[in-house]
């Protein structure tokens, strides 16, 4: 993200050339999942070459998706958190009693599920894999994206800010980007780095330190990004409208796929 052209930060991308080679602990190392809404709604399962392996149609839109540890998926929509098998069978549906709550994103780390929400309430909930609530933490801002960290922490995106919270609700760090026109839309954690997408006055994704939230590098794109996930070859996968893209960390588009229906919209991604 371009505050001004900073060669020292940009060249630090060379220090990242191996970090996405770390694939241990990724639930589905050879595939990724992409949620979609619009003319169809559900989840597509694709190889890292963007070839579709299978798909799951859902009777509800999918705002956020996260891979679980038991060959399963977690999804959010309105005031519901869903748990599906990777083959598409509904395992459980947690319907929050306040219909004004809108779950915006979801993340899974170990045996915990983290889901952000806005609407009549704002904050994030911590749940077990059976979707029983263990804790919740109100915030004074609306959360667009959430990602579970590796140090008993979570990362939140809201407006032009990125937040790091402890899983006990303690605020650990805030990074406010100086361009108020930037809107962070999604976050992901993989192999020791934080990925965050942004739209508004700029478009692209940033790679940041997990503790300080300092920027290592950024990639500008000519489109808004709906979701992001790390790849396995120094790359990332991003979604935008009816497109899926594969980018290198240096900003080179490696692959692209376009769904033939323009009114299908890809959103959140997970592995």
Average pLDDT for consecutive 10-residue bins of the chain (271 residues)? 46 45 57 98 98 98 98 98 97 98 98 98 98 98 98 98 98 98 96 95 98 97 97 95 96 97 98 93
Q: What is the CATH number of the domain that holds 89?
A: 2.130.10.10
How far apart are the C-alpha atoms of 58 and 89, rounded to whole Å?
10
253 found inside a domain: yes
| Torsion on CA atoms 225, 72, 29, 235, rounded to nearest 10 | 10
Residue 236's closest CA among 178, 179, 177, 196? 196
Specify the pLDDT at position 20: 45
194 CA to centre of own chain: 10
Q: Which helix (H) or strand (E) holds 189?
A: strand 182-190
Q: How far is Cα 132 from Cα 137, in angstroms, rounded to an integer?
A: 15
What is the DSSP annotation of 136-182? Answer: EEE-SS--SEEEE-SSSEEEEEETTEEEEEETTS-EEEEEE-S-TTE
Provide the 10 A C-beta neighbour count for residue 102. 21
User: Looking at the domain assignment, is residue 186 inside a domain?
Assistant: yes
Contacts for 228 with CB less than 8 Å, ≥ 6 apart: 186, 188, 195, 196, 197, 205, 236, 237, 238, 239, 269
Domain for residue 2, yes or no?
Answer: no
Domain contains 150: yes
Burial class of residue 173 in the structure, from the number of CB atoms within 10 Å of its CB (0-12 exposed, 13-18 middle, 19+ buried) = middle
What domain range includes position 152?
7-270
Q: How many domains would you assign to the chain? A: 1
Query: Looking at residue 2, what is its pLDDT?
Result: 63
- For position 60, what pLDDT does the model report? 98
173 domain-assigned: yes
Q: Name the one residue in this structure whose structure tokens are 């979609």.
A: 36
Lookup: tokens for 136: 């919740």
Identify whether the C-beta of residue 46 lies closer than 8 Å to the C-beta of residue 53.
yes
**Quick check: is 232 in a domain?**
yes
The pLDDT tens digits of the residues spanning 18-71 come to: 444 454 445 567 899 999 999 999 999 999 999 999 999 999 999 999 999 999
Q: Is residue 144 part of a domain?
A: yes
d(CA 31, CA 253): 19
As a dihedral over the C-alpha atoms of residue 110, residue 248, residue 207, residue 43, rounded to 10 degrees, the angle is -40
In a domain, 1, yes or no: no
């Amino acid at each position: 993200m371009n505050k001004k052209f900073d060669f020292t930060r940009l060249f630090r991308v060379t220090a990242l050339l191996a970090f996405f080679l770390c694939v241990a602990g990724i639930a589905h190392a050879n595939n990724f999942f992409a949620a979609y809404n619009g003319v169809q709604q559900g989840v597509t399962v694709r190889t890292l070459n963007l070839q579709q392996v299978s798909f799951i149609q859902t009777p509800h839109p999918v705002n956020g998706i996260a891979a679980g540890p038991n060959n399963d998926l977690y999804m959010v929509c309105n005031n519901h958190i869903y748990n599906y098998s990777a083959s598409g069978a509904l395992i459980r549906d947690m319907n929050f009693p306040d219909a004004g709550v809108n779950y915006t994103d979801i993340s899974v780390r170990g045996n915990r599920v983290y889901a952000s929400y806005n609407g009549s309430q704002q904050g994030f909930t911590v749940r077990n894999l059976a979707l029983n609530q263990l804790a919740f933490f109100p915030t004074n801002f609306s959360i667009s994206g959430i990602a579970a960290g590796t140090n008993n922490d979570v990362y939140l995106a809201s407006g032009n800010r990125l937040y790091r919270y402890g899983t006990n609700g303690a605020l650990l760090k805030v990074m406010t980007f100086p361009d108020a026109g930037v809107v962070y839309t999604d976050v992901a954690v993989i192999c020791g780095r934080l990925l965050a997408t942004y739209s508004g006055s700029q478009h692209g994704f940033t790679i940041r330190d997990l503790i300080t939230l300092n920027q290592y590098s950024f990639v500008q794109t000519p489109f808004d990004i709906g979701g992001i996930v790390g790849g396995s070859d120094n790359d990332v996968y991003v979604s935008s409208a009816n497109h899926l893209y594969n980018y290198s960390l240096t900003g080179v588009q490696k692959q692209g796929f376009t769904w033939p229906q323009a009114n299908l919209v890809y959103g959140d991604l997970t592995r």
